[in-house]
Structures are given as C-alpha cells and as structure tokens.
A and B are shown apart, each in its own frame.
Chain A
Amino acid sequence: MPKAQRIAFVCPRFAEGGTVGGAETLLKNLADRAAAAGRQVDFLTTCAQSHFTWENTLPPGRRRIGNLEVHYFPVDSRDASSFLRVQQAICQRGNFTPPDEELWIRNSVNSTPLCEHLRQHGDDYDRIVMGPYLFGLVYFAAQIHPNKTLLVPCLHDEPFAWLSIMHNLFGGVDGFLFNTEPEQDLARRLFQVPAEKCAVVGMGLEPFEADPRAFVARHKLNSPYVMYAGRREPLKGTPLLCDYVDAFRQRTGRDVKIVFTGSGQIDAPPDLQPHILDLGFVSEQEKREAMAGAAVFIHPSVNESLGIVLLESWLAKTPALVHTRSEVLRWQCAQSNAGLWFANYPEFEEELRLLLEEAPLRNAMGAAGREYVQRIYSWPSVEKRLFEALDKT
C-alpha cells in the first residue's frame, strides 16, 4: 500500500463546466489521477465560480464528482477596497509595508470553514496538496498542517512572488510539486528552497488526433490563421497579440486571420476586428481541430508556469510563438524545438513570416512538439513523478 493513501487537494475553485483556469485544471487532474490509482481523495474548494467576483454561487456541502469527493466551502466576506488598494501598490512595485502585505493576504480569497475543516480532519489525511500560491486560502491553509502539505505553487516571476510574506509559505511546507524546471529554479532562487523538497511533476495530456482541414472547412476559412486559446486579458498578453497581428497584416500585406477560443473581451484595433474569429468557449474537439488547422499557435503571456494550451497545440502538431519574457514557455520551446520566441515586434514579424512561408519547417516543428509532449507529459510519466512525490517521506 502506498504511504499517502488518504489525500486532500485544496484549490480556490474546482475546475468544472465554465470554471476554467490552468491551476484549477492542473489540481483537478492530479486529484483525479490519484483517485483513479485507488487513493482516497477529497477535493476541498470554495463555492465561488467567478475569479472576478468570488461570489458564493454554488451551494456548500459535499458532492461526488467522478472519482472525487468534492467539499464546497463558502468564501469569507472581505474588504475588497483594501485588497485592491494594496494589490495596486504591489503590481506597480510602489510603496507598501509588511503590514500592508498582511492586509492584502487577509483580504484575498479566504475560507474560514475550509480551514476549520482542515484543522478538524487534518489527521484523516496523509498528504494535503494545495495551490496556487497567491491566494489567502492557500497561504493560511498551508500553515495548518505544514508537515504534510505539498504546495503546487504555479509560480512565475511576478510582483506577488517577491512579497516578504511568501517566505512564510514557501519556507513552511513539506514539499513542492512544480510544473517545470524553470519554475523550480525560480522558487529556489527566491526562497532558497532545498532541492530535496522539490519535485517537477507537471500535468499529463491525453494524446489526440485532430483533422486540420475540418475546422477550416467548417468555418470556410480561405486564409492562413494564427490561434490563441485561453483567457483574454492584458495579463495574458492578448492586447499585444492583437497589436502585433494587426501590424503584421499592415506591414507585410498578408491576409492572416486570428482565431480565439476562451473567455474575456478582445481588445483589438478596429482594422483587425473583421479578421478575428472569436469562438468563445468551444468543445475540446472544436478547440483541437482549430489548433490543428492553425499555421501557428501564439502564446504571448509572460506569466505562465506550465502553458497547457501550448502543449495541446503541439499535440495538434502546430508550432508555437511565445514571448521571450516567459521563462517557462521559452524553455519548453527550446526543449522541444517546437516553438520560437520573440522579444519585440521585429522578431515576431520575422518568425511569423518564416513559419508561414516554410511549410516543411512548420511541419517538422509541429511533429517535434507532439513527440515532446508524448514523451514528457504523458500521464504514465506524470503519474510516476506525482506518486513518488506524494509517497516521499
């Protein structure tokens, strides 16, 4: 019998239906795999679905979802104006003090009932796995049973990672499940985390086949297109993507369309708007076929700890362009040889032009991407790394 037989996973939201986010998907998938392997898994989360309002929209209580016993707890009421005031100072790297940081984390997303559950039932669990790092819920829950807590930080180099209070979190827990080596390196640099506490686990992806012509035919597209999937917001770099594609169209005279899936408003220049195909939320099959038909998948975010959609685009044999400031995405592109990275518009223009013009190169990079994902991010490889980390004493 494995050592960690009874496991609690803690995440501010449970990835179900419209609740989509990389960290939530990651935690849910890891929990699913642990449960499928015969371990007893409780998933502790909040009643909130929207990551903007954090309103308690789901009823509290227990529900069986697939292999998981999901426990929903209400989010605490909070002083949102204090939270936003300090958050703004943090984001602008302005003036704020350690008490301000405390005020910020206390008024972040918290759930006293969830923490109370952990206090009362902590002995029922061999391991408590939680993430991502920047929520009050995770910050406080990690301090309840630190000796059995494994943090899935989903860390990237952003102002929150540099807060002094984060040393309490990273210094206290028993171990870490990182998504990639660059994320692990960053944590070791920022918090002097000892190597023996670290494991790079990541998330597995099921291989799939997608017909590149199906999406093109269905939407009657007669020009090449680039694609982005995920949340559309400045933090994810989508305004930059729109500005770059607009400039590319104007400067090169090429008719390149852009396909978006996911949620959020698209902030695009007026000239580009007729050339955008915004699909919103789509089925997995539709997304995969859209990826397969794309000339290039573009991921302009500089704040990523894994880049699940990037890996999915590689499974669809589509090469990628990423921003050089995203250490993780750049590293994945360099490791796989399935993507190129740009620091500014001129590099973007040259790289996109190259990939549009050179079909053999594009195909070779797409194939390299698929091979990379199947080798590193297959579920058997990920499960092996996950279970080793869970059972480590």
Chain B
Amino acid sequence: MKESSVMEIGAAGLDARKIVADIQATVRKKIEEGAYADARIARAERTNLVNLKTDDQFLSFYLKCLRDSVFVDISDFEIRERRPVLAPLLVKLKKCIWGLLKFYTYRLWSQQNQVNGLIVTAIEGLDEKYSARIKELQDRLDKLEKKTSSS
C-alpha cells in the first residue's frame, strides 16, 4: 500500500471503500510476487477456509501457502538451555536424548513429509482438473446461450 494514496484519501475525506479497494489491489500484486507464500499464513487461514470456500482465488492462494508449509523441517537444530543453573549438563543430556531418538524421528517425519507432499499434490491436481472442467462447461454454456439468443 502506497502511503501517499492513503494520505490523499484521508485529506480529501474518508472513503473506506476506496481504501479497501487500494489494499485489495496491492494484495493481488503482492500475491503474484509471492510475498504471502508463507507457511505461517497457511496456518492462520485454517479457520478462514470455511468462510471463503466458494472463493476460487482464495483456494488457489491457500494451496500456494500450503505448498510452502507442507514439509516439516527435520534437519538437526542447535540445542540450547535457557536456565543458567546446570546448563552445560542439561545441554549434554538433551543432545544425548536427541542422538538416541534421531534415527526413529527422522524415519517418522520423513514418511510424514512424503504423505503431506502427496496429499497437497493430489489436492492441487484435483483443483486444476475441476477448474479446467468447470471452465470448459462454462464456455459450452456461453456458446449455447449465444446460439439460443441469436436463433
């Protein structure tokens, strides 16, 4: 959102419709640029799906976000301890536990990642298939309507 556009609106008299329209245009542009393909947005939108289930654009956007969040990070991570007392000991203990569990959790999460990836691919496939089918039917309807109105 350009600051100047907002201040212009504010100076000339408020127009909430125009502000929202400006923001929607900005958001559309940013979505195309990939600014919102973010796993955190996919999580935030989970409760919004029900409100916008008939909105095709929203579903496409949601699938993009989902694609970004589908794979769980299973790489090694730095083990820390915030409590100062016995910190070195606790870090060693945690590292030891992680070393023992790593093999099992890695197998588990890599399988989960495969499943997540397959599910998203399947949903995307279905979405593309039915979007194309609906478009095809819409085109046929338009042609038929033109035909009947001209005859």
Binding site for B on A (CB under 8 A): 234, 237, 239-240, 243-244, 246-247, 250-251, 269, 302, 323, 325, 333-334, 336-341, 343-347, 350-351, 353-354, 357-358, 360-361, 364-365, 368
Q: Which residues of B contact A323 (CB under 8 A)?
A: 51
Binding site for A on B (CB under 8 A): 1, 3, 6-7, 9-10, 14-17, 19-20, 23-24, 26-27, 30-31, 35-36, 38, 40-41, 43-48, 51-52, 55, 58, 61
Q: Which residues of A contact B1 (CB under 8 A)?
A: 350, 353-354
- What's the A-B contact tally at a CB cutoff of 8 Å? 92
Q: Are A339 and B52 in contact (CB under 8 A)?
A: no
A354 contacts which of B15, B23, B45 (Cβ < 8 Å)?
A: B23
Q: Are B16 and A338 in contact (CB under 8 A)?
A: yes
List 26 contacting pairs A-B, 8 Å CB cutoff, sorted by A: A243-B43, A243-B44, A243-B46, A251-B38, A251-B40, A251-B41, A302-B51, A333-B16, A337-B16, A338-B16, A340-B19, A341-B20, A343-B52, A344-B48, A345-B48, A346-B30, A346-B41, A347-B24, A353-B1, A354-B6, A354-B23, A358-B3, A358-B7, A361-B6, A364-B14, A365-B16
B55 contacts which of A343, A346, A347, A353 (Cβ < 8 Å)?
A: A343
Q: Which residue from chain A places its CB closest to the CB of B40 in the assembled complex?
A: A247
Q: Helix, strand, loop or mixed for chain B's interface? A: helix
Q: How far is the CA of A234 from the CA of B51 in the complex (A)?
A: 12
Q: Which residues of B contact A357 (CB under 8 A)?
A: 3
**Nearest chain A CB to B46 CB, angstrom units:** 7
Q: Are B45 and A345 in contact (CB under 8 A)?
A: yes
Q: How far is the CA of A218 from the CA of B99 in the complex (A)?
A: 49
Q: Which residues of A contact B20 (CB under 8 A)?
A: 340-341, 347, 351
Q: Which residues of B contact A337 (CB under 8 A)?
A: 14-16
Q: Are B55 and A339 in contact (CB under 8 A)?
A: no
Q: How far is the CA of A344 from the CA of B7 in the complex (A)?
A: 24
Q: How far is the CA of A351 from the CA of B35 in the complex (A)?
A: 16
Q: Are B23 and A350 in contact (CB under 8 A)?
A: yes
**Nearest chain A CB to B29 CB, angstrom units:** 11
